[in-house]
Structure 1
Amino acid sequence: MLPLIVVIVLIIIGFYFFSKKKKTAVQPLLSIDFKQQLSAHIPYYQKLDEGNKIIFEQKVEAFLTGITIEGVGTTVDDIDRIMIAASAVIPIFGFSDWKYRNLTNVILYPDTFDGEFQFEGENRSILGMVGTGYMNGQMILSRAALLKGFSKSAGKENTAIHEFVHLLDKADGATDGVPENLLAHEYVLPWIKMIHQEINKIEHGKSDINPYAITNEAEFLAVVSEYFFQKPDQLKHKHPELYEMLSRIFSQDPAESLS
C-alpha cells in the first residue's frame, strides 16, 4: 500500500495534467488574424456594423472552441475553419445564445462524395451531409463547395450554410423543414402552405429558386435559406412573403441590417 503522502502527490500531479490538457483542448486552432480573414472572405460579416462584427467574432471563436474540424483526404487550414465557423454563425446570428448541441465534428472532404462517403471514383454528387444513425453528430462538407460558397461566383448557393440550416431544423427532433424551436406555433401552418405553394411554382418553371428545393420540405428550407443569406435583397424583392417568414424563423433581417 502506498504511503499517504505519495498518494496525495500523485493526485496533485494528475489534476495538474488533466487541467492543462482540458485547457489546451478548447483553444481555437487559429494561427492567423481571423478578423482580417473574416473581412476578406465573408460578405455577411463585411456588411455588419462594428458592434455586430464583435458579436460575430465572439460567436466564431465559441464555435471553433467547441467543435472539432478535421480533414479526410485534404488538409484543413485556418481559412477553412473560419469559413465553416462563419457558415455556422450566420443562421444563428439573430439568437443570443444558440449552441449546436447536435454537432460534435465537421469532416472536410476535398470534393464531392457518394452515399458511402467515398470521395474518389464515379457517381460522386454530394456536396454536404448532416449525419444520422452511427454518423449522428457529424457533418461532412466538400472543401471545394465550401470555398465556392464564399466566392464571387457563389450566387444564391452556399453548401455549408445549407447544412447548418439542416442542423437547426433537426434541433426539434425532426429534419422536416419546420423548425418548431424557431417558429411560433401560429406560423407553422402558414409556413407549410407557403412551402407547397412555392414548390408548385418551381415545378412549373415560375420561380428562380433552385429546383433542388422541391426534393422535400427539409431541402426547401435549406435551399431558400441559402438564398436568404446570400442574396437577401433579391429574395425580398422577388419573394416578399417568403422573405418575411424566413426573417421570423432566423430572427434577423439581412436585407435591412446588411444594406
Structure 2
Amino acid sequence: MNYTPYLILALAFIVALYFIFRKKKLVVVSLSRADKQLLTNNVDFYIRLDGNKKTLFEQKVSDFLASTKIEGVGLEITQLDRLLVASSAVIPIFGFADWNYKNLSNVVLYPDTFNQDFQFKEGDRNIMGMVGNGFMNGQMILSLAALRHGFSKSAGKENTAIHEFVHLLDKSDGATDGVPENLMAHEYTLPWVKMMHEEMERIKDDKSDINPYAITNQAEFFAVVSEYFFEQPELLKDKHPELYQRLSKTFGQKLV
C-alpha cells in the first residue's frame, strides 16, 4: 500500500495547524525621546517616578502598544493619544511584576460620548468609556475627549480611561463585581465589601467627596475610587485613609 498521499495530507494538516495556532511575535519598539517628552508633559504619574521606575514605566507602555491595537473611528489619533491610552493601562498594573491584559485586544477611540448602540453622532449620548462584552468582548471603547480630559490639569479626581482599565482588572477573575479576587487576598474580600458599602452610604447621605456615580454598584465604586487613588492620592489618603491603605495593597503601590 502506498502511504505517500496520507503522509502528504498529514504534513499539510500539521503545517495548517502551525499557522493557525502560532503566536504572533510581538514587535516591541522602545519609546523615542519625543515619546518620553510627551509623557513628561502630560502624565503626572510618570512625572512622579524616579529614574529606574520611569524606565520600567516606559517599557510597560512599549509592551502595551506592541500587544494592543489602538484605532480611531471618525477621527485621526495622534501619538500622544496612543501614549495616553497605554499610560491608562499601565498605571493600575504598575505595581505588578508581570501582568498582561489577556482580556483585551483592541481599544477603539470615538470623538466624544456615545450610546449603548455605539452611536456618537445622534440621540442621547452619555457614555465616555465601555469595556466590551458578548460580541464586543476583548475590546474597549473610549471617548477621545474624555481620554484627553483625564490627563488635563482640570480633571481633578477623574480619569475615564483608568476607570475602564480598572474594570478590566476587576473582570479578570470572571466577574466585574468590584471585588478583584486576582489582586486581593481572600481574607480581605469581605472587609472590602463592607468598606465599600459603608462608604456608599456616606455618599448617599452627602457626607463624602467621592463621585456619586460610585453608588451605582460595587464595580463602579471600585473603578471610581481607583481613579481618585491614582489621580489625587494625597487627598484620598487625607480624607479616606482606610480606603487609601486598602487600594494601596490591592494595586501594590504606595503613591504617597
Shared fold by TM > 0.5? yes
| Local SS of the residue matching 1:57 | helix
Aligned-residue RMSD, C-alpha: 1.5
- Inter-CA distance 144–30: structure 2 relative to 1 (3 Å threshold): farther
The answer to whether the 8 Å contact 2:69/2:105 transfers is: yes
In 1, distance between residues paired with 2:141 and 2:107? Answer: 6
1:90-239 matches, within 5 Å, as 90-239=91-240
Task: Report Cα offsets for 1:5-62 as digits up to 9, x if no partner.
Answer: xxxxxxxxxxxxx9xxx66x73559777211111011000001000100000000000
In 2, distance between residues paired with 1:172 and 1:85? Answer: 22
Matched, 1:49 2:46: no
The answer to whether the 8 Å contact 1:30/1:78 transfers is: no
By how many angstroms is 1:121 displaced? 1.1
In 2, distance between residues paired with 1:101 and 1:28? Answer: 20
Task: Report Cα offsets for 1:64-113 as digits up to 9, x if no partner.
Answer: 00000000011111000000000000000000000000000000000000
One-letter code aligned to 1:26 = V
Percent identity of paired positions between Structure 1 and Structure 2: 65
The answer to whether the 8 Å contact 1:104/1:137 transfers is: yes
The answer to whether the 8 Å contact 1:69/1:107 transfers is: yes
In 2, distance between residues paired with 1:87 and 1:53? Answer: 15
The answer to whether the 8 Å contact 2:28/2:63 transfers is: no
Task: Spell out structure 1 runs of 4+ moving beyond 2 A.
Answer: 25-32
- Inter-CA distance 182–151: structure 2 relative to 1 (3 Å threshold): same
Matched, 1:241 2:242: yes
| Local SS of the residue matching 1:254 | coil
1:28-47 matches, within 5 Å, as 33-47=34-48
In 1, distance between residues paired with 2:33 and 2:82? Answer: 11
| Local SS of the residue matching 2:86 | helix
In 2, distance between residues paired with 1:28 and 1:203? Answer: 47
User: What stretches of structure 2 of length at least 5 have no aligned partner?
Assistant: 1-18
| Local SS of the residue matching 2:63 | helix
In 2, distance between residues paired with 1:28 and 1:116? Answer: 35
In 1, distance between residues paired with 2:237 and 2:224? Answer: 15
Q: Which residue of 1 aligns with 2:81?
A: 80
Matched, 1:58 2:59: yes
In 1, distance between residues paired with 2:199 and 2:116? Answer: 29
User: What stretches of structure 1 of length at least 5 have no aligned partner?
Assistant: 1-17
One-letter code aligned to 2:185 = A
Task: Report Cα offsets for 1:91-149 as digits up to 9, x if no partner.
Answer: 00000000000000000000000000000112100000000000000000000000000
Q: Which residue of 1 aligns with 2:27?
A: 26
Q: Which residue of 2 aligns with 1:6?
A: none
- Inter-CA distance 183–27: structure 2 relative to 1 (3 Å threshold): closer
User: What TM-score do you get using the length of structure 2 for normalisation?
Assistant: 0.89
| Local SS of the residue matching 1:228 | helix
User: What TM-score do you get using the length of structure 1 for normalisation?
Assistant: 0.88
In 2, distance between residues paired with 1:243 and 1:206? Answer: 17
One-letter code aligned to 2:234 = D
One-letter code aligned to 2:245 = E
One-letter code aligned to 1:222 = A
The answer to whether the 8 Å contact 1:228/1:235 transfers is: yes
